[in-house]
Amino acid sequence: MLKNLRLRQKFTILLLAILLMGLSLSGFALSALLRQNAKNDIAATGVMLMETMTSVRNYTTNQINPELKEKLEVKFLPQTVPGYSAREVFEVLRQKKGYRDFFYKEATLNPTNLRDKADNFEAEVVEKFRKNSNLKELSDFRKLSGGDIFYIARPLAVSEPSCLECHSTPEAAPKSMIDRYGSTNGFGWQLNEIVGAQIISVPANTVINRANKSSFVIIGLVSAVFAAVILLVNIFLNSQVIRPLKHITRVAEEVSTGHMDAEFDKFGNDEIGNLAKAFKRMQLSLEMAMNRLKKSHGNTST
C-alpha cells in the first residue's frame, strides 16, 4: 500500500505513527505521575485543613474552656468540646467552594459522642498509630460501597490534662455531661494516650478527575505541538524535496524526449542539488552522444 503513496503522504503517516506510539507509551506513565501529583496536592490541602482543625481544638481547650469552667458544672455545653468545635468549624468551611468534597472526622475508639465512633477500618488506622509511636501520618485510598475515597490521617492523643476532667472517670466528669451522654462511653483515657485519629477524606474520583484534567491538557498540548511539527515538516518537505524532485523529473522527461534545451535549476549543495548536477552531466553527455551520432550519420550519408 505504501508503494502507491506519495512521499509527503509516507512522511505524514510515519510521523502520525510516531505520535500515536509515543502517546500510547507515555500515556500510562503520564497518568500515574499526574495521579500521584493530584494525590499529593489534595494531601497537602488535607494537611492544611487538619492543622487548622488542630488550631481550633487548641483554642477551645486553652481559651474557651477556662472561661466557662464554672458554667460547665451547671450545664454542659458541647461547643466547649475541642472535637465538637473542630467538626462544626469544618462544616462551615465545607460551604465554601473548593472544600465541599472534603470530610473531617475525629475517629475515636471510645468517644463520648457516638458520632465520633471509629468504624472497623478507622479503628485499624488508630491501632497502627498506637502500636508505632513514630508513625505520624497515613494516607491511601479506601474502598467503600458508595465509591472509593482518598484519606489522610494523623494520630489524636490526649495532650492536655484538662481533657481528663471529662474523660478519666464518670465521677470526675461534669454531671451535665453525664446527663447528656451517659456514663458508658468516653472514659478511661490516659494522658498522652492515642485515643483516635484525625481523618480528612475526599472522594477518589476527585483525585482521578483532577489527574485526568491535567492529562487531557498535557496530551492536548503535545498533540498540538506535534501537529504543528507535522505541518512544518510537510512544508519543508514540499519546498526542499518534493518540488525540486518534481522539477528534476519534469526536465528529465523533456530531455528524454529530445528537448536538450531544458535546464536543470540549481538547488544548492545538498543531495537534491547533487542529483540535479548528476542529471545535468547526464544531459550534457546525452547531448554530446547525440551530436556525435548526427555527425556519424551525416558522414555516412555523404
Closest C-alpha to 84, from 168, 220, 181: 181
Q: What is the mean pLDDT of the chain?
A: 81
pLDDT surpassing 60 at residue 302: no
Is residue 232 domain-resident?
no
Give the residue, 239 or 257, on which the prediction is more confident: 239
- Chain mean position to CA 132: 32
pLDDT band, very low/low/confident/very high, at 127 (cuts 50, 70, 90):
very high
pLDDT at position 278, please?
Answer: 80
pLDDT band, very low/low/confident/very high, at 160 (cuts 50, 70, 90):
confident
pLDDT surpassing 60 at residue 1: no
pLDDT at position 27, please?
Answer: 66
Is residue 265 domain-resident?
no
pLDDT surpassing 80 at residue 32: no
For 211-250, what is each residue's pLDDT tens digit?
A: 677 777 777 777 787 778 878 887 887 777 778 778 777 7
Is residue 1 domain-resident?
no
- Which structural domain, as residue segments, surrounds residue 129? 41-202
Is residue 102 domain-resident?
yes
Is residue 299 domain-resident?
no
For 12-28, what is each residue's pLDDT tens digit?
A: 787 778 777 777 776 66
CB 89, CB 192: distance < 8 Å: no
Q: What are phi and psi of 145, to 5 degrees?
A: -65, -30
User: How many structural domains compose the chain?
Assistant: 1
For 259-295, what is each residue's pLDDT tens digit?
A: 766 676 666 677 777 777 787 777 777 777 777 777 7
Is residue 190 domain-resident?
yes
Is residue 12 domain-resident?
no
pLDDT surpassing 70 at residue 199: yes
pLDDT at position 189, please?
Answer: 92
Is residue 231 domain-resident?
no
